[in-house]
Homo-oligomer: A and B are copies of this chain.
């Protein structure tokens, strides 16, 4: 044995010394988690973090080891009760999914086998391709469409826009970049578009001022005539329009742009149509509601989340790109240490790394695959329709109750309303009152709802992508808003 060998005779590892102990703890964790999920309804939806928990979570760097049991106990005591609450049956704040027990198990399995999912010759590659193929079919995009699972909507949208930039620049943008470009590459979207668009324009070096935010109509949809006019003006002014972003479900109100008109306009002007269908695109699953997002399938690139309206745990989104070769051309990068081979582990290449930014990727596809197979697509259809009908039911309650006021026409699963008592109050007073109602509802642990400002009016915002909610939860919300409002006015 060499001297070096002497030094490493200890044979350290992070595998447990005693497998049975960790196994036993693992089973306890699983039991606890199942019990937690099964009894969610009786728990607070959200609670502020108490001072003592803040203190407990502020510790010096742990040099030595601690018993795993006690670390787990800290998790149970200090973390579980004080989270973002979106898994709760009465959580409709923002557009966040709940997660499912089955997908929780899938995440455990994925972390157990810990596959590197950049591509290569392995089953996880086939599983991801399979999932992408299913999602393509659900979305109604043509065979041969390319795709990628991402961390979520922002990354999916960013990738779509990056492919658009590559396809429409008219020069070798990967090599030359945007520096020195005289005719500014310009992108168009509605004023209601999610902030990912601004962030992506900034990141891509296009600059937020190259993002033209077009006014919306009364239903928060992009004004097509205004868009057409702006593009024409910009061309005359020497700009270089490259892409239009269409919304299939805006974040504030769930509006859907006229995607068929956008497709036509993009064809005429040789522009890329990217559709942000973060949650809305999943309506494609429903024969009853898919007309609401008609035209999404005409996109050159389509982004959507699976951790929203497909109820999966974070993180997983998807981008589909009609022109597979263009998708690859925008990202594929060779490297000597990833030298291609017809055999061996790299056979097939780094397919997924070649379609996006990351080289190393986890096995996000497993939870999608297991869930789609075990629940079946029809279950998602039923749930999405249920969410729509629950939202309709809430909107109906709002309309019928004298002290509740709708602040947007419900188009999808989002209801924006406010408490408005009989006594006359200014918008400013109503804003303050409703903001306080939202905070009190959160703090009480009864409901997770969010707020947004529409036309200067503060709205209580209910975005229903919850597979655990029941109809009576929405009745209870309406009653709670009124009760809280009345109490605050006393």
Contacts and interface: CB of A to CB of B under 8 A. Distances in A.
A443 interface: yes
Contact of A173 (B83, B207, B370, B448): B207
A343 interface: yes
A116 interface: yes
Contacts of A54: 126
The oligomer's copy count stands at: 2
B396 A195 contact: no
A104 B115 contact: no
Contacts of A101: 15-16, 19, 22, 26, 112
A241 B281 CA distance: 43
B13 A468 contact: yes
A200 B203 CA distance: 10
A143 interface: no
Contacts of A408: none
A100 interface: yes
A360 B62 contact: no
A94 B392 contact: no
Nearest to A103: B111
Contacts of A313: 110-111, 114, 362
A301 interface: no
Contacts of A108: 29-30, 33, 104-105, 107-108, 111
Given A180-B182, A202-B177, A204-B203, A83 B339 contact: no
B177 A209 contact: yes
Given A36-B112, A336-B452, 10 more contacts: A8-B386, A49-B126, A63-B378, A74-B373, A84-B116, A94-B116, A178-B179, A179-B181, A195-B333, A196-B359
A232 interface: no
A195 B359 contact: yes
A23 B15 contact: no
B179 A207 contact: yes
Given A84-B116, A105-B26, A360 B96 contact: yes
A487 to B, nearest CB: 17
Interface in A45-80: 46, 48-49, 53-54, 57-59, 61-68, 71-72, 74-75, 78-80
Contact of A198 (B61, B333, B339): B333
A416 to B, nearest CB: 10
A127 interface: yes
A79 B106 CA distance: 12
Contacts of A23: 30-31, 34
Contact of A102 (B68, B109, B138, B200): B68
Nearest to A363: B314
B467 A13 contact: yes
A113 B87 contact: yes
Given A14-B311, A84-B120, A66 B374 contact: yes
B251 A358 contact: no
A343 B443 CA distance: 9
Contacts of A438: 344
Please indicate which of the listed interface residues A80, A195, A383 has the most CB atoms of chain B within 10 Å of its own CB. Answer: A195
A336 to B, nearest CB: 5
A2 B393 CA distance: 7
Contact of A362 (B80, B153, B315): B315
A293 to B, nearest CB: 18
Interface string A452-466: 110000000100000
Nearest to A185: B179
B105 A62 contact: no
A34 B26 contact: yes
B198 A177 contact: no
Contacts of A334: 195
Please indicate which of the listed interface residues A152, A181, A374 has the most CB atoms of chain B within 10 Å of its own CB. Answer: A374
Contacts of A75: 109, 366, 370
Interface stretch (A154-162, A222-230, A478-486): A154-162
A367 B112 CA distance: 13
A65 B377 CA distance: 8
Contacts of A102: 14, 16, 22, 68
Nearest to A66: B373
B461 A337 contact: yes
A199 B374 contact: no
A87 B124 CA distance: 14
Given A100-B14, A105-B26, A127-B79, A471 B9 contact: yes
